[in-house]
Structure 1
Amino acid sequence: MDFILFAVPFFFVLIAVELLADRWRGLRTYRLADAINSLSAGVLSTTTGLLTKSVGLLTYAFALEHISLFRLAGDQAWVWVLAFVLYDFCYYWLHRLGHERNVLWAAHSVHHQSEEYNLSTALRQTSTGFIFSWIFYLPLALLGVPLLVFVSVAALNLLYQFWVHTRHVPKLGWYEWIFVTPSNHRVHHAQNPLYMDRNYGGVFIVWDRLFGTFQEEDERTPVIFGVTTPLRSWNPLWANLQFYAQLAADARRTRHWADKLRIWFMPTGWRPADVAERYPLTKPDLSQFTPFEIALGWRPQVYVTLQFAVYVALGSYLLGHGAQLPLPALWLGWGIMAFGLFVLGALLEDRAWALRVEAMRLALNVPLLALALSSALLPASALAWPALVVYTVVSALGLYCLCRPLGRLTGSAG
């Protein structure tokens, strides 16, 4: 069952509630650019998932058909409970190795790059995790857990993890001993040495207590969120590629052919000795930590926020109609989404070329829609053209208001 699709509106309602709680309690757990960057990564992830989810589903279905030891009935309550618990056990090992092996961390690091911690961080998901994640859930197929049950408990596991991404909920007493909570998941998102690489469970914290990876949140050591190799960008595409690019660069630079291959599968942080010597990486001093920020005026912030809302609507449309759209339409939708979110990230970073690329993005709206309709990639609608014209004209006027008085957004970045 696709619980995620139905939950999306509630995600945004709860984010709004958390924003109100921020104001009421005088906290500052949100920054606009950081939140949009996290949500952009989430929108890109769900759009990418429309093209890649078949990898996990087909491999699971194949394993269920050909190597399962049992045939469990999906109408039995105990099967659902067993599947829910076992899924979280498999998730624990996927999550743990996602922190302990370079190539898996390259995918998972996206979720940890935010230097804030709030409900928008929960939606900050990778677009490349599908490459290896399916392997870790094959034990459920081996035991004969039906595909519908597997998909459903996977969605429920992900839904549970949403609410633990907040700083507004304190420790919860006995509940902390069994389940993942905001407190022990805050530890997981820390870059402090005391907390790093701890608390991997999705729903149950008992796995961490059992396998020695549990760490309690200590009020004497406030959590500093983020990763030790900071992203320092609002670009969701670069967020997904950053660590892969670092690994590829090290693989290219090393003189040893064996290291070019094994760097991908070595423990996180391992680098070939010759590369580490010639290209040392410095880690930030946490005692001097300051979150990444680029000052923008209120007008560009409003413009980017409204444009991002359009992409949320587009992503929701693709998510809701993905099963009915032909594959070329999904690829076109993904391309439009990826390019648009990239441009919005550039605007948030105040890149010198961002306004020109944004103008090009708006100019491409008409030929892209014409291509989609003429190729029957999208269902014809009498409202499509008027809506697109209105959106493009209003956006162009907004862009003109940014360009004319300012030249650039702040003049602060190159």
Structure 2
Amino acid sequence: MLVDSPEFKLWTQWLYMAALPYFFAAMALEGWAIRRKGPQAWFKGYEWRDSLCSMAMGALKLLAIAIAALWTLPIMLWLYNNRVVDLPVSSWWFVPLVVLADDFCYYWYHRCAHRCGAFWAEHSNHHTSEHYNLSTALRQSVLGPFYTFVFWLPLPWLGMDPLAVTFAHTINLLYQYWIHTETFEVHGWFERVFNCPQHHRLHHAKNTEYHDCNYGGILIVWDRWFGTYKGFLPGVKPVYGTVTPVPSTNPLKQAVAGWGHLLHKVRTTRGVKNRLLCFVKPPGWLPD
């Protein structure tokens, strides 16, 4: 049985095609804003090797998605064909519901990606840049598509078309692009509900004061509800990068560095139990 609404595939393709000019136009605008602020600006701006690495990793992520779809899509289709709920795909509320459900799953994936060694190994490359700008948003997890899809498996089982889930996830990723900047902030009611640049830059900071916070994708309310929200602390400027740096602008090295660190940790840890715990404990965990 095929999914009910193949037009979701066309909508997703359209979003990806529209994304390219959106990405580069936004980076050009951000670069202009950085130059306009001049040398007195407190943020770093762009470094061309770092930005090219990030953009290359974005392209590798697309390739990884295409390869991983060979088994992720059949699994999701099987769950959808055995769904426990029939949702009216043509209803006006169906797409907003899927976008909301996708964002909820993203929050828990993202939180786990920072608190579980096996998921931090694939997600950490998104945080390795010591710069915070729109090109950093393209520094995507290359290995993630091969196994992080497990967080979204409940959605097709609950009657959400897998192509609709893909469409919603694309909206989620495109939304998060614009929040990777230091050049402006958004305040008022919007920042209380939605993820904004001032929230996400703290998420990217490696300062101990900002560890493990602001995991939301589109909505910041998940963090407010589940106790992971943090705001800017006066005098504590965000410092970007990872506690274990990856001093390379080679996108392939960046893509596998997290798993390299994890496997090295496993090899140098004594005891089978402790070695297994390396995969499920937080990345900073060490045996007593």
User: What TM-score do the two structures reach when normalised by structure 2?
Assistant: 0.90
Mapped partners of 1:237, 1:139: distance in 2: 32
Contact 1:199 1:213 in 2 (8 A): yes
Match of 2:108 in 1: 93
1:11 corresponds to which of 23, 34, 56:
23
Equivalent residue, structure 2, for 1:359: none
* Aligned partner letter, 2:74: L
Q: CA deviation at 1:203?
A: 0.3
Q: Say which SS state the counterpart of residue 148 (structure 1) adopts.
A: helix
Give the superposition deviation at 1:33: 1.4
What SS does the aligned partner of 2:279 have? coil
Moved more, 264-273 or 3-12: 264-273
Larger Rg: 1
1:126 corresponds to 2:141: yes
* One of 42, 48, 53 as aligned partner of 1:32: 48
Distance of 2:115 and 2:270 partners within structure 1: 24
| Partner AA of 2:184 in structure 1 | V
Corresponding residue for 2:124? Answer: 109
Of residues 184, 191, 204 in structure 2, which corresponds to 1:189?
204
Q: How do residues 157-168 of structure 1 correspond to structure 2 at under 5 angstroms?
A: 157-168=172-183
Does 1:241 find its partner at 2:256? yes
Which residue among 154, 159, 172 is the counterpart of 1:139? 154
> 1:54 Cα shift?
3.1
Quote the offset at 1:92 in angstroms: 0.2
Matched letter for residue 67 of structure 2: L
Amino acid at match of 1:155: T
Q: Show the 5 A alignment for 1:347-366.
A: none
Listed one character per residue, the Cα deviations across residues 69-113 of structure 1 (whole Å, up to 9, x for unaligned) are 111122111111111111100100000000000010000001111
Counterpart for residue 22 of structure 1: 34
CA distance in 2, matches of 1:271, 1:193: 17
CA deviation after TM superposition for structure 1 residue 148, in Å: 2.6
* Residues 180, 201 of structure 1: 8 Å contact kept: yes
- State the identity as a percent: 37
Which position in structure 1 is the counterpart of 2:278?
A: 263
SS in 2 for 1:264: helix
- Aligned partners of 2:24 and 2:199: how far apart in 1? 23
For residues 138 and 76 of structure 2, what CA distance do their matches in structure 1 show? 25
1:56 deviates by 2.7
Give the corresponding residue for 1:73.
88
**Cα displacement (A) at 1:191:** 0.6
Q: 2: CA distance between counterparts of 1:55 and 1:127?
A: 16
- The separation in 2 between residues aligned to 1:78 and 1:219, in whole angstroms, is 41
Q: Which amino acid aligns with 1:15?
A: M
In the alignment, the residues of structure 2 paired with residue 140 and residue 50 of structure 1 have an alpha-carbon distance, to the nearest angstrom, of 20
For residues 137 and 54 of structure 2, what CA distance do their matches in structure 1 show?
8
CA drift of 1:163 comes to 0.5
**Cα deviation, residue 61, structure 1:** 1.1
Tell me the alpha carbon deviations over residues 306-354 of structure 1, each in whole angstroms, 9 at most, x when there is no partner: xxxxxxxxxxxxxxxxxxxxxxxxxxxxxxxxxxxxxxxxxxxxxxxxx
Deviation, 1:34, is: 1.3
Give the match for residue 69 of structure 2: 53
Match of 1:217 among 212, 232, 246: 232
Deviation at 1:253, TM superposition (A): 2.6
Partner Cα separation in structure 1 for residue 253 and residue 63 of structure 2: 16
1:16 maps to a residue whose letter is A
Q: Distance in 1 between matches of 2:199 and 2:171?
A: 20
Q: Where in structure 2 are the equivalents of 1:367-406 lying within 5 Å?
A: none
Q: Distance in 2 between matches of 1:166 and 1:172?
A: 15
Alignment correspondent of 1:253 = 268
Q: CA deviation at 1:18?
A: 1.0
- 1:276-295 paired onto structure 2 within 5 Å: none
Quote how far apart the aligned CAs of 1:268 are.
2.1
User: Following the alignment from structure 1 to structure 2, what is the Cα–Cα distance between the partners of residues 214 and 254?
Assistant: 33
Q: Hey, what does 2:80 align to over in structure 1?
A: 64
Number of residue-to-residue matches in the alignment: 272
Pairwise CA distance, 1:219: 4.0
CA contact (8 A) 2:125 2:258 kept: no
Q: 1:132 to 1:51 in 2, by over 3 A?
A: closer
- RMSD of aligned residue pairs (Cα, Å): 1.4
SS in structure 2 at match of 1:77: coil
Structure 1 letter corresponding to 2:242: V
Q: Does 1:228 align with 2:232?
A: no
Secondary structure of residue in 1 paired with 2:259: helix
